Amino acid sequence: MKGAFNKASDMVGGMVGLAAASTAGGRSTGAFLMNAVVGNLYEVQAAKAALERSRSEAVRNFALKMIDDHTTAAHQLHSALRMNETKDVEPPPQELDDRHSGMIRHLIEASDEDFDSRYLDQQAMAHQETATLLKTYADEGENPQLRSWATSSLPVVERHLEMVRQIKSH
């Protein structure tokens, strides 16, 4: 019963995140940065949980890719924040928000039988949210340096979303 509640909670949170990513959360620099940084942190933490818990080679390989790509994205974002065009931008948070902390907790609490499905469902939702966030900011964001970062990051996130869909279909 708790597993079904956690899955439903993740889905509702994902819908809220998706709505925020396509509105002010994807246009304002502060909200964009918070969502982008927290998203990268979540991806790395969730992938580490998958490496510990998953029984599937495809899921474990995907998790390794998430760690590599989202660590790279975080480094690139921090580099963009050191540019002159971002000198007045507030530093982003360095920890998960409550929603993403709850998603990690739900992964940890998932039964062994449900773990891969829960992880992949979360990944599909998180990557859809991030793709929307990046596209919205790339098209309408306030800061040119961060718009450039969003534009260059979007194809990577879209590839991740396609990878999740392929793994889920097998």
Residue 13 maps to a domain = yes
How many Å apart are CA 19 and CA 25, to the nearest integer? 8
Q: What is the pLDDT of residues 84-110, one digit of tens each?
A: 888 888 888 899 999 999 999 999 999
CATH of the domain at 28: 1.20.1260.10
Span 16-45, average pLDDT = 78
CA distance 85 to 75: 17
Phi-psi region of 126 (alpha: psi -120 to 50; beta: other; left: phi over 0): alpha
* Residue 149 included in any domain: yes
Asked whether residue 93 is domain-assigned, the answer is no
Quick check: is 92 in a domain? Answer: no
Q: What is the DSSP letter of 22?
A: T
pTM: 0.84
- Examine residue 94 and state whether it is found in any structural domain, yes or no: no
Split into its structural domains, the chain has a count of 1
Looking at the domain assignment, is residue 116 inside a domain? yes
- Residue 20 belongs to a domain: yes
For 113, the domain range is 2-87+99-169
Query: pLDDT-based confidence at 134, cuts 50/70/90?
Result: very high
Angle (CA) 40-43-46 rounded to 5° is 150
Residue 111 predicted with pLDDT over 80: yes
* 68-84 tens-digit pLDDT: 999 999 999 999 988 88
Does 119 reside within a domain? yes
How sure is the predictor about 14, in pLDDT bands with cuts at 50, 70 and 90? very low
